């Protein structure tokens, strides 16, 4: 099974693929999130795995934008405990490091560590990619934030571990593909919708679920391009789209919205 992910070998996404799928998976690296969607749509990969949310830094907005734009569906989720390491070329010491490269999400998760040591944070396209770059460039005054797996893949030294600002640092990933997944009895649905622009419509939309005791796990908004101060709402509901109560709720939801897209119904892990 070919599973596309954003980043280089050694990225947290590759680690999540191995954890979720086991040895049957063949990770397929791609530079950007858009490329992961392209790989699945073009048949270069059977599935994709993309980050959806971090417990410290919040949602990965680009993932939700792509789910809204593209036809691929969320088919599953997995959660990875993320432990960040400071990684450098062998022989480099902590005192030598002036700049730290990594993905902006990882830099944000380690902000307290970086600020406390007056280290310059430099955004890079990928955690493992930053390790690879530092190795290839032979940098002696820079380090990267990435996983121990990345250090092993690129034969680099780990200078420090546990850089994240909080020990409860987890990233939730979506498995994406072109098929709908049937109910399992322990499911979640992720939905995007736009309410009518009149008073009370957001409350009406949420009442459709609350009145049926359907548990809302998450709600957040994203600006609609070209329509200032109007928003798309993204919600997670603990139910499958095919469950009778969920069907009723969706029917009622349509009365207070002018756009609905079910991004996927899938087995939940949290």
- Give the integer Cα–Cα distance in Å for 76 and 92: 41
Q: What Å distances lie between residue 206 and 53, 58, 59, 251, 253, CA to CA?
A: 22, 22, 20, 13, 8
Q: Are 214 and 174 in contact (CB under 8 A)?
A: no
63 classed as catalytic: no
209 classed as catalytic: no
Of 78, 127, 171, 257, the active-site residue reads 171
Strand 120-123 vs strand 99-102: parallel, antiparallel, or unpaired? parallel
Q: Residue 46 class from Cβ within 10 Å (0-12 exposed, 13-18 middle, 19+ buried)? A: middle
Give Rg (Cα) of the chain.
20
- Of 191, 184, 192, 171, the C-alpha closest to 267 is 184
- Of 205, 183, 203, the C-alpha closest to 257 is 205
Of 173, 174, 209, 234, the active-site residue reads 173
Helix (H, G, I), strand (E, B) or coil at 195: strand
Q: Are 133 and 88 in contact (CB under 8 A)?
A: no
Q: Tokens standing for 119?
A: 């280290």
Residue 224 gets which letter from DSSP?
E
Residues annotated catalytic, as ranges: 171, 173
């Amino acid at each position: 099974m070919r599973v596309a992910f954003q980043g280089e070998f050694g990225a947290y996404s590759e680690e999540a693929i191995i954890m979720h799928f086991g040895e049957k998976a063949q990770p397929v690296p791609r530079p950007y999130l858009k490329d992961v969607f392209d790989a699945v749509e073009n048949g270069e990969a059977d599935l994709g795995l993309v980050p959806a949310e971090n417990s410290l830094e919040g949602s990965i907005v680009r993932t939700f934008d792509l789910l809204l734009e593209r036809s691929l569906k969320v088919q599953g989720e997995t959660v990875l405990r993320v432990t960040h390491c400071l990684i450098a070329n062998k022989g480099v010491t902590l005192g030598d490091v002036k700049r730290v490269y990594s993905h902006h999400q990882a830099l944000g998760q380690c902000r307290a560590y970086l600020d406390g040591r007056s280290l310059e944070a430099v955004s890079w396209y990928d955690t493992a990619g930053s390790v690879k770059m530092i190795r290839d460039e032979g940098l002696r005054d820079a380090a990267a934030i990435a996983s121990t797996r990345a250090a092993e893949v690129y034969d680099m030294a780990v200078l420090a571990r546990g850089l994240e600002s909080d020990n409860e640092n987890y990233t939730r990933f979506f498995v994406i593909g072109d098929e709908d997944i049937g109910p399992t009895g322990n499911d979640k649905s992720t939905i995007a919708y736009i309410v009518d622009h009149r008073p009370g419509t957001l409350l009406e939309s949420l009442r459709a679920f609350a009145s049926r005791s359907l548990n809302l796990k998450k709600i957040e908004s994203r600006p609609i391009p070209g329509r200032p101060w109007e928003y798309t709402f993204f919600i997670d509901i603990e139910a499958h789209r095919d469950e009778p109560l969920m069907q009723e709720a969706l029917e009622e939801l349509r009365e207070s919205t002018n756009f609905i897209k079910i991004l996927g119904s899938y087995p939940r892990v949290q």
